[in-house]
Structure 1
Amino acid sequence: MQHGSVYKLAFGPKAFVVVSDPIVARHILRENAFSYDKALGSYVFCSMISIYGLNVIAPGFHALYLEAMVKVFTDCSERTTLKFEKLLEDIQAQDTIELDLEAEFSSLALDIIGLGVFNYDFGSISKESPVIKAVYGTLFEAEHRSTFYIPYWKFPLASWIVPRQRKFQYDLKVINDCLDGLIKNAKETRQETDVEKLQQRDYSNLKDASLLRFFVDMRGADVDDRQLRDDLMTMLIAGHETTAAVLTWSIFLLSQNPSKMKKAQAEIDAVLGKGRVTFDSLKKLEYIRLIVVESLRLYPQPPLLIRRSLKPDTLPGGYKGQKDGYKIPTGTDIFISVYNLHRSPYFWDKPDQFEPERFLVQRKSEDIEGWNGFDPSRSPGALYPNEIVADFAFLPFGGGPRKCVGDQFALMESTIALAMLLQKFDVKLKGSPDAVELVTGATIHTKNGLWCKLRKRANVQ
């Protein structure tokens, strides 16, 4: 925040406008949203779903679909905890196991995305296949491209001359062949219908309640295979990476706050006992949901939202900015620094501290003209705090008409996975928190994994 809420950042011959102010972010994302477009391959979970009309479906559809997805989230999370229990049984002389939980969460998230989006079981928690290896290869390449300042992969013949680009092309072919097969199967078994009937579907009794099934049934013969495959690829890569990061930082933060870890496990014991998570019990896991949200505040995924101006505009000055605002020409690339916003001392009390309870307390805007403060009552009935309650000082999934529509999917799968892990195990970092190095790119993740010690909880059989 030392450069102000709006400033220009020169990067070689290119300059960007960096925004760290909710008033300016609200202008770009909501108030004047159609003057801006996503730029530079903005990396947001499920960012392309809206192409197929999911964002026009009524909230009732979302509730029915998400209720069906809870079983997928729970089944996959149970696979992970059973794997850990088996590892403990295999080393009977020890009562703890050491694991890279970031890697384990990555496998879990991949299985959830596979079943929830494609109706395809990657089985990555317990095995490795050519498709899984290809997915991780594309993830590494996406990370490389998001941080490398010269797009050399666009040069003629680069995909054949550069070894890593040859491997990337091979990985893409493996995944595309898999997705093409799934799309073909979905189209051959489609039950073409309209939006109204899709809203009334009993998703809990569907053998295939995946998003792929929904897309094909809604669009029918009009669906474009290549566009659909590209959008499914976006969901696979972005959604998988994001969820793994959210769970990683939730454990990282809880491990440094033992009292909050105990509070979380006490809520889990009271709500779940030794049972599984259901849609109804998820609603009662308030503290676990707030832990996930607070982790997203401190380690937002992605840390930047990128927009490009489609026409000349004048950005508002924001808090402590220029009164006349900032004029920007067409084609200006804007970085909305979600990381800076979420840790701003102007809009958050003790911004660098891990306090899940903060989302239950109203914070008035005081002397900040143009910002309406933080008010949990502003979004009644919502399971999770959002950009509305914080008036755009909290943007884990963006905001406005281009907000990520996969937010509830990502939040719920993270909540369930975290609850089921803490239900069965006590978790501690293997080393010092200072030894966990951050790497910032498309997401914020660790450099060498999150190595933890897991012990079976005494009251769990």
Structure 2
Amino acid sequence: MAATASTAAALLTRPVGGAPHFAASSSSSASASSHRRRLLSVRCQSTSVDKQQEPKAKRSVLDNASNLLTNLLSGGSLGNMPVAEGAVTDLFGKPLFFSLYDWFIEHGSVYKLAFGPKSFVVVSDPIVARHILRENAFCYDKGVLAEILKPIMGKGLIPADLDTWKQRRKVITPGFHALFIEAMVRIFTKCSERTISKLEQLTESDDAEQKSAIVDLEAEFSNLALDIIGLGIFNYDFDSVTKESPVIKRKFHADLKVINDCLDSLIKNAKETRQEADVEKLQQRDYSSLKDVSLLRFLVDMRGADVDDRQLRDDLMTMLIAGHETTAAVLTWSIYLLAQNPTKMRKAQAEVDSILSSGAVTVESLKKMEYIKSIIVESLRLYPQPPLLIRRSLRPDKLPGGYNGAKEGYEIPAGTDIFVSIYNLHRSPYFWDRPNEFEPERFSVPKKDEDVEGWAGFDPGRSPGAMYPNEIIADFAFLPFGGGPRKCVGDQFALLESTVALALMLQKFDVELRGSPDKVEMVTGATIHTKNAFHLAPRVWRQVRFQSCFDLTGKPDACSAGNKKPKGINNQI
């Protein structure tokens, strides 16, 4: 492999400091383009001390006590499985997935992680992940995740027990059919243009106060995604791009009441105007003449799929929460990565200009945007949303050993909690060349490693007709939306809305890095996002024609096109 385990570990533990900030200019133009683009300037400021650089050997009294308790209470119940002693301080000041990666490099692709009386099996191997998610999927449920999400999502698809999931999945999946997706592309475009118009107004404003305002770009992407989910899933316009949304405020209990009241009203209205039909007829509807183009309308109108209001609300709440924050994160990291790679940005812009020069965004035009789609999925590889999948075994099972694991595999008892580390899978030095580098082009190149028994490698032709690389193409080394029966039902919806938004952003704006990419601090919950957000600060910028490369100050660099890495830019994240 091109990258060694030690190299990969070193890259993952590079300094992590303050968050980038975005600043917009009033004018700019791009080479190879007939129209002007404004400049979004990405500023990185260091605001914190890197805690990943502390020597791992130093253990506090708290750590020693924790490890002693771990040894006494969780012992060797998983037999031959390697054990990572989780020091409490490993979890302070950095996301959990960083520590899980360090232990993956140290202990291998399957190991037990124990903190006091609680232990988890951490899986960082596509062969083992495939067994858990597809080959033996119904031996597992969502475990801890379901317990956490149940108060919010009830029996929505993510936390639902297997019986509820089977029944709801069968009803919801047909809703994401081809004609619905075509109608959604129009909504994606409308909402994206609303966001872009807002950013353009900020850059063109003559109002001094407005010009000096700081705009949280990550929050703007969240607003955009929320508006898309609202219109596409239950026909409600939050209009959060142009006015403050109660959902974005994140006052948890108050927000839940606002959202639940809203959903109850929408469900009531949809049922009162029900137009019952068989699923085949619903999938052939003329969406251009339909006033209510939403998944809720489809679910309510489907003959034989009557469901109580509470279940419908759980379904919609799940899609609302799972959908909008994920898309916001994908767009944020895509912009961040492109800001460090101006040559790749211009390649993407050239594709957008060529494809959209003759008309609006359509499904057919999106199919042609191979490079834009590759940027989206490469962003999801480097910053998976979510970074972990959580499962619990319902009965005893035997996990495969995976790459370099125990040949005999690993016996696990019923009730075993498992973390499938998507972050580790996506950055594994055993399955990806240069795993920590931003290389959208990698998804067009087959990769077969004969040394990895049981892994079929990466083959773009393995999933005919797929618009985006998926778990089948990568044989479970790439899992942006999970895999197997419980894979995210809205994957194509999320990918397409991200592609539309990114394409239209790049059509209007250039992105430039100011400051070191090493100073970005990440935090994580359900998704990986920036700790202090990305900020866009409108300001006057001189008109400038883009050269082949730019340095971090925005001044033209002397490097020639494609032959020299832009000065000061580090392409490794």
Question: Which secondary structure does the structure 1 equivalent of 2:267 belong to?
Answer: helix
1:112 matched to 2:228? yes
Question: Which secondary structure does the structure 2 equivalent of 1:410 belong to?
Answer: helix
1:18 to 91, 102, 122: 122
The alpha-carbon deviation at position 16 of structure 1 amounts to 0.5
1:73 matched to 2:199? no
1:411 to 475, 479, 495: 495
The alpha-carbon deviation at position 46 of structure 1 amounts to 6.7
Which residue in 1 is equivalent to 2:22? none
Question: Which secondary structure does the structure 1 equivalent of 2:302 belong to?
Answer: helix
* Aligned counterparts of 2:178 and 2:335: Cα–Cα separation in 1: 28
Question: Which secondary structure does the structure 2 equivalent of 1:53 belong to?
Answer: helix
* Aligned counterparts of 1:137 and 1:12: Cα–Cα separation in 2: 36
Q: Are the aligned partners of 2:173 and 2:489 in contact in 1 as well (CA < 8 Å)?
A: no
Question: Which secondary structure does the structure 2 equivalent of 1:8 belong to?
Answer: strand
* Aligned counterparts of 1:333 and 1:224: Cα–Cα separation in 2: 32
Structure 2 unmatched runs, 5+: 1-103, 546-573
Q: Are the aligned partners of 1:309 and 1:329 in contact in 2 as well (CA < 8 Å)?
A: yes
Once the two structures are superposed, the pairs formed by residues 180-259 of structure 1 within 5 Å of their partners are 180-218=264-302, 222-259=306-343
Q: Are the aligned partners of 1:425 and 1:457 in contact in 2 as well (CA < 8 Å)?
A: no
Question: Which secondary structure does the structure 1 equivalent of 2:238 belong to?
Answer: coil
Once the two structures are superposed, the pairs formed by residues 309-328 of structure 1 within 5 Å of their partners are 309-328=393-412
> What TM-score, normalized to structure 2?
0.70
Once the two structures are superposed, the pairs formed by residues 126-205 of structure 1 within 5 Å of their partners are 126-128=242-244, 132-133=245-246, 135-138=247-250, 168-205=252-289
Which residue in 2 is equivalent to 1:292? 376
Relative to structure 1, the CA distance from residue 96 to residue 15 in structure 2 (aligned partners, 3 Å threshold; closer, same or farther) is same
Question: Which secondary structure does the structure 1 equivalent of 2:485 belong to?
Answer: helix
The alpha-carbon deviation at position 288 of structure 1 amounts to 0.4
* Aligned counterparts of 2:333 and 2:267: Cα–Cα separation in 1: 34
The alpha-carbon deviation at position 96 of structure 1 amounts to 11
Letter in 2 for 1:75: K
Relative to structure 1, the CA distance from residue 56 to residue 238 in structure 2 (aligned partners, 3 Å threshold; closer, same or farther) is closer
Which residue in 2 is equivalent to 1:398? 482
The alpha-carbon deviation at position 64 of structure 1 amounts to 1.3
Which residue in 1 is equivalent to 2:96? none
Question: Which secondary structure does the structure 2 equivalent of 1:264 belong to?
Answer: helix
Letter in 1 for 2:223: S
Deviations 1:298-328 (A, max 9, x none): 0000000111111100000000000110100
* Aligned counterparts of 1:322 and 1:201: Cα–Cα separation in 2: 54
Deviations 1:46-70 (A, max 9, x none): 7478715346539xx6211111100
Question: Which secondary structure does the structure 2 equivalent of 1:402 belong to?
Answer: coil
Letter in 1 for 2:233: V
Which residue in 1 is equivalent to 2:367? 283
Letter in 2 for 1:57: P
State the Cα RMSD in Å.
2.5
Once the two structures are superposed, the pairs formed by residues 278-427 of structure 1 within 5 Å of their partners are 278-427=362-511
Percent identity for Structure 1 against Structure 2: 73
**Equivalent residue pairs, number:** 425
The alpha-carbon deviation at position 137 of structure 1 amounts to 4.9
Question: Which secondary structure does the structure 1 equivalent of 2:222 belong to?
Answer: helix
Once the two structures are superposed, the pairs formed by residues 33-72 of structure 1 within 5 Å of their partners are 33-41=137-145, 47=158, 51=168, 53-54=170-171, 57=174, 62-72=177-187
* Aligned counterparts of 2:227 and 2:373: Cα–Cα separation in 1: 21
Question: Which secondary structure does the structure 1 equivalent of 2:194 belong to?
Answer: helix
Structure 1 unmatched runs, 5+: 139-166
Question: Which secondary structure does the structure 1 equivalent of 2:111 belong to?
Answer: strand
Letter in 1 for 2:248: Y
Which residue in 1 is equivalent to 2:18? none
* Aligned counterparts of 1:111 and 1:283: Cα–Cα separation in 2: 24
* Aligned counterparts of 2:304 and 2:231: Cα–Cα separation in 1: 21
Q: Are the aligned partners of 2:279 and 2:303 in contact in 1 as well (CA < 8 Å)?
A: no
* Aligned counterparts of 1:307 and 1:32: Cα–Cα separation in 2: 12
Q: Are the aligned partners of 1:426 and 1:456 in contact in 2 as well (CA < 8 Å)?
A: no
Letter in 2 for 1:425: F
Which residue in 1 is equivalent to 2:205? 90
Relative to structure 1, the CA distance from residue 304 to residue 249 in structure 2 (aligned partners, 3 Å threshold; closer, same or farther) is same
Which residue in 2 is equivalent to 1:164? none
* Aligned counterparts of 1:376 and 1:225: Cα–Cα separation in 2: 42
Larger radius of gyration: 2
Q: Are the aligned partners of 1:30 and 1:401 in contact in 2 as well (CA < 8 Å)?
A: yes
Range that drifts further, 216-225 or 401-410: 216-225
The alpha-carbon deviation at position 428 of structure 1 amounts to 2.5
Relative to structure 1, the CA distance from residue 46 to residue 425 in structure 2 (aligned partners, 3 Å threshold; closer, same or farther) is farther
Range that drifts further, 428-437 or 80-89: 428-437
